[in-house]
Amino acid sequence: MAIATRERILEAAGRALSVSPNATVDAVAAEARVGRATVFRHFGSRAGLLRALGRRAVAETDRATREATVRARTATEALRLVMKAAVGAGESFRFLTAAPELYDAPDTVQAYERQLAELADLVEASKREGFIRPDVPTAWAVACIDGLIWAACRAVGSGAVGPVQAEDLVWDTLAGGLSAHPAGG
């Protein structure tokens, strides 16, 4: 029961913060249909709730991208599947745009840097396969991909595009802009 309540609070916090960046503990508690004291009992403070939500988002993104790469036969396919998985997992981390206090949290920074390093490895491998142009700096490609993923998550969150469309648009944008063989060219 305690685990189910904790998960319900985390899900409610993600929803509440995505809608209102300054959502209070009271708003999260109402969304989760629990008392304010229950939120504090599980997380200690709003900051503790945000840290737990951040750890959950990292774990969900890691799980989704790990599962995606297992099916890949090439680095380029793995890159496509990782991007798709990251956009799909966006619901779990979109709240981070509303939680700037986590930007400097050591565990958040370390996890994000690790994820970007893993992405850089995929970009390098995709270059070796000839998909990404060799003249494109890896750091630039990683920054572009990261930006595309965040843009897709914001667009899905605002209702501008659907999740599947966002996944396709991220890949199409990458393939058309960084590829050695641009789409339609």
**For 127-151, how does the pLDDT look when each residue is reduced to its tens digit (9 = 90+)?**
999 999 999 999 999 999 999 998 9
How far is 95 from 68, CA to CA, in rounded Å?
23
Predicted TM-score (pTM) of this structure: 0.80
Cβ-contact 52, 67 below 8 angstroms: no
**Confidence label for 185 from pLDDT (cuts 50, 70 and 90):** very low
- Among 74-78, 101-105, 165-169, the range scoring the smallest mean pLDDT is 101-105
pLDDT confidence of residue 90? 77
How confident is residue 43, by pLDDT bands cut at 50, 70 and 90?
Answer: very high
Phi-psi region of 132 (alpha: psi -120 to 50; beta: other; left: phi over 0): beta
Query: Greater confidence, 71 or 184?
Result: 71
The share of the chain scoring above pLDDT 70, in percent, equals 91
Q: Where in the chain is the domain with CATH 1.10.357.10?
A: 53-177
Question: Within the chain, which residue ranges are assigned CATH 1.10.10?
Answer: 1-44
CATH number of 53-177: 1.10.357.10
pLDDT of residue 16: 87
Is domain 1-44 given the CATH code 1.10.10 in the classification?
Answer: yes
* Average confidence (pLDDT) over 120-125: 95
Q: Judging by beta carbons within 10 Å of its beta carbon (0-12, 13-18, 19+), is residue 83 exposed, middle or buried?
A: buried
- Mean pLDDT value of segment 37-44: 95
Answer whether 82's CB lies under 8 Å from 149's CB. Answer: no
